[in-house]
Structure 1
Amino acid sequence: MAFVAENMRQADREELEALGQDSEEGIWQAFRASEQAWVMQEDAPMCVFGVIPTNLLTGEGIIWLLGTDNVKRHARGFLEVSPRCLQKIMATYSHLHNYVDQRNKASIRWLKWMGFEFQAAQPLGPRGLPFHRFDKRA
Protein backbone atom coordinates (compact mmCIF):
# COMPACT_ATOMS: atom_id res chain seq x y z
CA MET A 1 0.00 0.00 0.00
CA ALA A 2 2.76 2.42 0.94
CA PHE A 3 4.63 1.63 -2.29
CA VAL A 4 1.59 2.55 -4.40
CA ALA A 5 1.00 5.75 -2.41
CA GLU A 6 4.65 6.81 -2.78
CA ASN A 7 4.87 5.87 -6.47
CA MET A 8 1.36 6.76 -7.62
CA ARG A 9 1.02 7.72 -11.27
CA GLN A 10 0.57 11.44 -11.81
CA ALA A 11 -2.98 11.22 -13.19
CA ASP A 12 -4.22 9.35 -10.10
CA ARG A 13 -2.39 11.78 -7.81
CA GLU A 14 -4.01 14.75 -9.60
CA GLU A 15 -7.42 13.08 -9.41
CA LEU A 16 -7.12 12.68 -5.62
CA GLU A 17 -5.88 16.27 -5.27
CA ALA A 18 -8.95 17.47 -7.22
CA LEU A 19 -11.05 15.68 -4.60
CA GLY A 20 -9.14 17.34 -1.76
CA GLN A 21 -6.91 14.38 -0.77
CA ASP A 22 -3.24 13.53 -1.05
CA SER A 23 -2.13 10.14 -2.37
CA GLU A 24 -1.51 8.54 1.02
CA GLU A 25 -4.76 9.79 2.56
CA GLY A 26 -6.77 8.78 -0.51
CA ILE A 27 -5.41 5.26 -0.77
CA TRP A 28 -5.83 4.50 2.95
CA GLN A 29 -9.32 5.98 3.08
CA ALA A 30 -10.43 3.81 0.14
CA PHE A 31 -8.72 0.74 1.59
CA ARG A 32 -10.29 1.11 5.05
CA ALA A 33 -13.79 1.60 3.60
CA SER A 34 -13.51 -1.40 1.27
CA GLU A 35 -15.06 -4.76 1.98
CA GLN A 36 -12.22 -6.30 -0.02
CA ALA A 37 -9.11 -4.85 -1.61
CA TRP A 38 -6.33 -6.35 -3.70
CA VAL A 39 -2.84 -5.52 -4.91
CA MET A 40 -1.88 -6.39 -8.49
CA GLN A 41 1.84 -6.78 -9.04
CA GLU A 42 4.53 -8.07 -11.35
CA ASP A 43 8.07 -7.28 -10.15
CA ALA A 44 6.60 -4.56 -7.89
CA PRO A 45 3.05 -3.43 -7.09
CA MET A 46 1.20 -2.03 -10.11
CA CYS A 47 -1.98 -0.95 -8.38
CA VAL A 48 -4.31 -1.43 -5.46
CA PHE A 49 -8.04 -1.70 -6.03
CA GLY A 50 -11.20 -2.60 -4.22
CA VAL A 51 -14.91 -2.12 -3.71
CA ILE A 52 -16.63 -0.02 -1.07
CA PRO A 53 -20.10 -1.47 -0.47
CA THR A 54 -22.89 1.11 -0.63
CA ASN A 55 -25.96 -1.15 -0.61
CA LEU A 56 -25.54 -4.84 0.18
CA LEU A 57 -29.22 -5.57 -0.51
CA THR A 58 -28.98 -4.38 -4.11
CA GLY A 59 -25.35 -5.38 -4.65
CA GLU A 60 -24.14 -1.84 -5.23
CA GLY A 61 -20.57 -0.72 -4.63
CA ILE A 62 -18.00 1.93 -5.43
CA ILE A 63 -15.12 0.41 -7.38
CA TRP A 64 -11.74 2.11 -7.22
CA LEU A 65 -8.19 1.62 -8.46
CA LEU A 66 -5.04 3.63 -7.78
CA GLY A 67 -1.94 2.72 -9.73
CA THR A 68 1.74 3.28 -10.27
CA ASP A 69 3.63 3.67 -13.54
CA ASN A 70 4.13 -0.10 -13.38
CA VAL A 71 0.62 -0.39 -14.88
CA LYS A 72 2.03 1.08 -18.10
CA ARG A 73 5.26 -0.94 -17.90
CA HIS A 74 3.28 -4.17 -17.53
CA ALA A 75 0.29 -3.12 -19.64
CA ARG A 76 -0.13 -6.50 -21.31
CA GLY A 77 -0.39 -8.37 -18.00
CA PHE A 78 -2.62 -5.67 -16.53
CA LEU A 79 -4.99 -5.88 -19.49
CA GLU A 80 -5.06 -9.68 -19.38
CA VAL A 81 -5.88 -9.85 -15.66
CA SER A 82 -8.29 -6.88 -15.40
CA PRO A 83 -11.37 -8.54 -16.98
CA ARG A 84 -10.99 -11.62 -14.76
CA CYS A 85 -10.75 -9.44 -11.66
CA LEU A 86 -13.85 -7.50 -12.69
CA GLN A 87 -15.73 -10.73 -13.38
CA LYS A 88 -14.96 -11.98 -9.84
CA ILE A 89 -16.03 -8.67 -8.33
CA MET A 90 -19.28 -8.68 -10.32
CA ALA A 91 -20.12 -12.11 -8.89
CA THR A 92 -20.73 -10.23 -5.62
CA TYR A 93 -21.71 -6.77 -6.86
CA SER A 94 -24.35 -6.32 -9.54
CA HIS A 95 -23.83 -2.55 -9.85
CA LEU A 96 -20.45 -0.84 -9.67
CA HIS A 97 -19.87 2.89 -10.02
CA ASN A 98 -17.52 5.75 -9.23
CA TYR A 99 -16.20 9.01 -10.72
CA VAL A 100 -13.13 9.64 -12.87
CA ASP A 101 -11.40 12.94 -13.51
CA GLN A 102 -12.05 14.09 -17.08
CA ARG A 103 -8.29 14.73 -17.46
CA ASN A 104 -7.45 11.08 -16.70
CA LYS A 105 -7.63 9.92 -20.33
CA ALA A 106 -5.83 6.57 -19.81
CA SER A 107 -8.22 5.53 -17.05
CA ILE A 108 -11.24 6.59 -19.11
CA ARG A 109 -10.05 4.50 -22.09
CA TRP A 110 -9.46 1.48 -19.83
CA LEU A 111 -12.83 1.83 -18.07
CA LYS A 112 -14.63 2.04 -21.43
CA TRP A 113 -12.68 -1.02 -22.63
CA MET A 114 -13.86 -2.80 -19.45
CA GLY A 115 -17.47 -2.04 -20.39
CA PHE A 116 -18.33 0.81 -18.04
CA GLU A 117 -20.86 3.38 -19.22
CA PHE A 118 -20.19 7.09 -18.78
CA GLN A 119 -22.28 10.13 -17.97
CA ALA A 120 -21.48 13.70 -18.95
CA ALA A 121 -18.85 15.37 -16.79
CA GLN A 122 -20.06 17.36 -13.79
CA PRO A 123 -18.13 19.57 -11.33
CA LEU A 124 -16.92 17.62 -8.30
CA GLY A 125 -14.63 18.24 -5.34
CA PRO A 126 -13.51 21.48 -3.72
CA ARG A 127 -12.06 22.83 -6.99
CA GLY A 128 -15.15 21.95 -9.03
CA LEU A 129 -13.20 20.11 -11.73
CA PRO A 130 -15.16 18.01 -14.24
CA PHE A 131 -15.58 14.33 -13.36
CA HIS A 132 -17.48 11.61 -15.22
CA ARG A 133 -19.64 9.16 -13.31
CA PHE A 134 -19.16 5.63 -14.65
CA ASP A 135 -21.33 2.56 -14.05
CA LYS A 136 -21.43 -1.12 -14.86
CA ARG A 137 -24.33 -3.43 -14.15
CA ALA A 138 -24.29 -7.22 -14.24
Structure 2
Amino acid sequence: MSRLNRSSLLKLGIPTLEDVDLVAANIRESDRHDLEGLHPGKAIREIIMGDVEYSQLVYGLYSNDRMQCVFGVIPVAPGVGTPWVVGTAEVDEAPLLFARSSRRLLDMLQRNFPVLDTWVCAENSKSVLWHKWCGFEFEQEKVRLGRDEYYRALRRADTNMMEVG
Protein backbone atom coordinates (compact mmCIF):
# COMPACT_ATOMS: atom_id res chain seq x y z
CA MET A 1 0.00 0.00 0.00
CA SER A 2 1.07 3.55 -0.54
CA ARG A 3 0.01 6.83 1.03
CA LEU A 4 -1.87 9.26 -1.18
CA ASN A 5 0.62 11.91 -0.03
CA ARG A 6 3.01 12.34 2.89
CA SER A 7 0.47 13.88 5.23
CA SER A 8 -2.48 11.71 4.23
CA LEU A 9 -4.08 9.25 6.62
CA LEU A 10 -5.34 7.29 3.62
CA LYS A 11 -3.49 4.57 1.77
CA LEU A 12 -4.19 3.16 -1.66
CA GLY A 13 -3.86 -0.57 -2.29
CA ILE A 14 -5.14 -3.57 -4.17
CA PRO A 15 -8.15 -5.01 -2.34
CA THR A 16 -8.35 -8.66 -1.39
CA LEU A 17 -11.48 -10.81 -1.48
CA GLU A 18 -11.62 -10.34 2.29
CA ASP A 19 -11.65 -6.57 1.74
CA VAL A 20 -14.59 -6.91 -0.65
CA ASP A 21 -16.38 -9.10 1.91
CA LEU A 22 -15.77 -6.43 4.58
CA VAL A 23 -17.20 -3.68 2.36
CA ALA A 24 -20.23 -5.82 1.48
CA ALA A 25 -20.90 -6.62 5.15
CA ASN A 26 -20.41 -3.00 6.32
CA ILE A 27 -21.70 -1.08 3.30
CA ARG A 28 -22.90 2.45 3.92
CA GLU A 29 -26.65 2.80 3.64
CA SER A 30 -26.66 5.18 0.64
CA ASP A 31 -24.54 2.73 -1.39
CA ARG A 32 -26.79 -0.18 -0.36
CA HIS A 33 -29.86 1.74 -1.55
CA ASP A 34 -28.24 2.48 -4.93
CA LEU A 35 -27.04 -1.08 -5.53
CA GLU A 36 -30.34 -2.67 -4.52
CA GLY A 37 -32.20 -0.23 -6.77
CA LEU A 38 -30.06 -1.07 -9.80
CA HIS A 39 -29.90 -4.82 -9.14
CA PRO A 40 -33.08 -5.94 -7.35
CA GLY A 41 -32.82 -9.35 -5.77
CA LYS A 42 -29.02 -9.64 -6.06
CA ALA A 43 -26.77 -9.93 -3.04
CA ILE A 44 -24.56 -6.88 -2.36
CA ARG A 45 -21.34 -8.95 -2.52
CA GLU A 46 -22.41 -10.40 -5.87
CA ILE A 47 -23.01 -6.91 -7.27
CA ILE A 48 -19.63 -5.64 -6.06
CA MET A 49 -17.82 -8.70 -7.40
CA GLY A 50 -19.48 -8.15 -10.79
CA ASP A 51 -18.06 -4.62 -10.87
CA VAL A 52 -14.65 -5.95 -9.83
CA GLU A 53 -14.76 -8.64 -12.53
CA TYR A 54 -15.54 -6.19 -15.34
CA SER A 55 -13.16 -3.47 -14.21
CA GLN A 56 -9.79 -2.76 -15.75
CA LEU A 57 -8.66 -0.91 -12.62
CA VAL A 58 -9.66 -1.80 -9.04
CA TYR A 59 -8.31 -0.21 -5.86
CA GLY A 60 -9.01 -0.11 -2.16
CA LEU A 61 -8.77 2.93 0.05
CA TYR A 62 -7.61 2.29 3.62
CA SER A 63 -7.42 4.39 6.78
CA ASN A 64 -5.30 3.05 9.63
CA ASP A 65 -5.07 -0.18 7.60
CA ARG A 66 -8.88 -0.53 7.71
CA MET A 67 -10.79 -0.83 4.46
CA GLN A 68 -12.84 2.28 3.70
CA CYS A 69 -13.97 1.65 0.14
CA VAL A 70 -13.33 -0.28 -3.01
CA PHE A 71 -13.52 1.43 -6.38
CA GLY A 72 -12.73 0.87 -10.01
CA VAL A 73 -13.44 1.64 -13.64
CA ILE A 74 -15.27 -0.53 -16.14
CA PRO A 75 -14.13 0.16 -19.74
CA VAL A 76 -16.98 1.01 -22.12
CA ALA A 77 -15.09 2.40 -25.14
CA PRO A 78 -11.48 3.42 -25.91
CA GLY A 79 -10.61 6.11 -23.35
CA VAL A 80 -14.05 5.97 -21.72
CA GLY A 81 -14.87 4.17 -18.48
CA THR A 82 -17.63 3.91 -15.94
CA PRO A 83 -16.29 4.57 -12.45
CA TRP A 84 -17.84 2.97 -9.38
CA VAL A 85 -17.19 3.19 -5.65
CA VAL A 86 -18.68 1.33 -2.71
CA GLY A 87 -17.83 2.48 0.80
CA THR A 88 -18.20 1.20 4.31
CA ALA A 89 -20.21 3.04 6.94
CA GLU A 90 -16.87 4.43 8.18
CA VAL A 91 -16.73 6.71 5.12
CA ASP A 92 -19.77 8.54 6.47
CA GLU A 93 -18.00 9.01 9.83
CA ALA A 94 -15.16 10.98 8.16
CA PRO A 95 -16.62 12.20 4.85
CA LEU A 96 -14.21 15.11 4.48
CA LEU A 97 -11.20 12.78 4.51
CA PHE A 98 -12.76 10.75 1.70
CA ALA A 99 -13.93 13.78 -0.28
CA ARG A 100 -10.54 15.52 -0.16
CA SER A 101 -8.81 12.53 -1.71
CA SER A 102 -11.49 11.88 -4.33
CA ARG A 103 -10.44 14.40 -6.97
CA ARG A 104 -6.84 13.18 -6.84
CA LEU A 105 -8.00 9.56 -7.17
CA LEU A 106 -10.23 10.40 -10.12
CA ASP A 107 -7.34 12.25 -11.79
CA MET A 108 -5.27 9.06 -11.36
CA LEU A 109 -8.01 6.93 -12.97
CA GLN A 110 -8.26 9.38 -15.84
CA ARG A 111 -4.72 8.65 -16.96
CA ASN A 112 -6.25 5.50 -18.47
CA PHE A 113 -9.80 6.76 -18.97
CA PRO A 114 -9.83 10.46 -19.96
CA VAL A 115 -13.63 10.40 -19.94
CA LEU A 116 -15.54 9.02 -16.95
CA ASP A 117 -19.19 8.36 -17.81
CA THR A 118 -21.56 7.23 -15.07
CA TRP A 119 -25.10 7.28 -13.73
CA VAL A 120 -25.93 8.98 -10.42
CA CYS A 121 -29.10 8.18 -8.49
CA ALA A 122 -31.21 11.34 -8.31
CA GLU A 123 -32.46 10.29 -4.83
CA ASN A 124 -28.94 9.95 -3.39
CA SER A 125 -28.07 13.50 -2.36
CA LYS A 126 -24.64 12.41 -1.02
CA SER A 127 -23.72 10.92 -4.36
CA VAL A 128 -25.06 13.87 -6.36
CA LEU A 129 -23.09 16.36 -4.23
CA TRP A 130 -19.90 14.24 -4.33
CA HIS A 131 -20.03 13.87 -8.12
CA LYS A 132 -20.60 17.61 -8.58
CA TRP A 133 -17.79 18.45 -6.14
CA CYS A 134 -15.47 16.12 -8.07
CA GLY A 135 -16.17 17.92 -11.35
CA PHE A 136 -18.75 15.70 -13.01
CA GLU A 137 -21.16 17.52 -15.31
CA PHE A 138 -24.77 16.36 -15.17
CA GLU A 139 -27.30 16.02 -17.94
CA GLN A 140 -30.62 17.58 -16.91
CA GLU A 141 -32.81 14.70 -18.02
CA LYS A 142 -33.43 11.85 -15.59
CA VAL A 143 -33.57 8.24 -16.81
CA ARG A 144 -35.21 5.35 -14.98
CA LEU A 145 -32.75 2.53 -14.33
CA GLY A 146 -34.05 -0.27 -12.17
CA ARG A 147 -36.18 1.14 -9.36
CA ASP A 148 -34.94 4.76 -9.35
CA GLU A 149 -34.22 7.71 -11.62
CA TYR A 150 -30.64 8.61 -12.53
CA TYR A 151 -28.70 11.48 -14.02
CA ARG A 152 -25.98 10.78 -16.54
CA ALA A 153 -22.76 12.43 -15.37
CA LEU A 154 -19.47 12.97 -17.24
CA ARG A 155 -16.04 14.00 -16.04
CA ARG A 156 -13.41 14.83 -18.61
CA ALA A 157 -9.70 14.84 -17.85
CA ASP A 158 -8.00 18.20 -17.60
CA THR A 159 -7.17 19.05 -21.22
CA ASN A 160 -3.92 20.60 -20.01
CA MET A 161 -2.93 17.21 -18.64
CA MET A 162 -3.89 15.14 -21.72
CA GLU A 163 -5.83 15.32 -24.94
CA VAL A 164 -9.18 13.50 -25.13
CA GLY A 165 -9.75 11.70 -28.43
- In the superposition, the TM-score normalised over structure 2's length comes to 0.76
Counterpart pick for 2:76 among 54, 60, 75: 54
Residue 153 (structure 2) pairs with residue 134 (structure 1): yes
d(CA) in 2 for partners of 1:13, 1:72: 13
- Give yes or no for contact 1:5–1:24 (8 Å, CA) kept in 2: yes
Counterpart pick for 1:107 among 124, 127, 139: 127
Q: How big is the shift at 1:92? A: 1.4
Map residues 1-138 of structure 1 onto 2, 5 A cutoff: 1-20=20-39, 21-43=42-64, 44-56=66-78, 59-119=79-139, 120-125=141-146, 127=147, 129-138=148-157
d(CA) in 1 for partners of 2:31, 2:92: 13
SS at match of 1:93: coil
Mark the runs of 5 or more structure 2 residues left unpaired by the alignment. Answer: 1-19, 158-165
SS at match of 2:107: helix
Q: How big is the shift at 1:65? A: 0.6
Q: How big is the shift at 1:54? A: 1.2
Q: How big is the shift at 1:77? A: 2.1
Whose RCO is larger (CA < 8 A, sep 6+)?
A: 1
Q: Partner letter of residue 28 of structure 1?
A: M
SS at match of 2:135: coil
d(CA) in 2 for partners of 1:38, 1:45: 11
Q: Partner letter of residue 86 of structure 1?
A: L
Q: Percent identity?
A: 34
Q: Partner letter of residue 36 of structure 2?
A: E
d(CA) in 1 for partners of 2:43, 2:154: 25
Per mean C-alpha deviation after superposition, the further-off stretch among 74-83 and 85-94 is: 74-83
Q: How big is the shift at 1:109? A: 0.3
d(CA) in 2 for partners of 1:77, 1:14: 23
Q: How big is the shift at 1:68? A: 1.2
Q: How many residues align?
A: 134
d(CA) in 1 for partners of 2:100, 2:125: 20
- Give yes or no for contact 1:121–1:133 (8 Å, CA) kept in 2: yes
SS at match of 1:112: helix
Bigger Cα Rg: 2
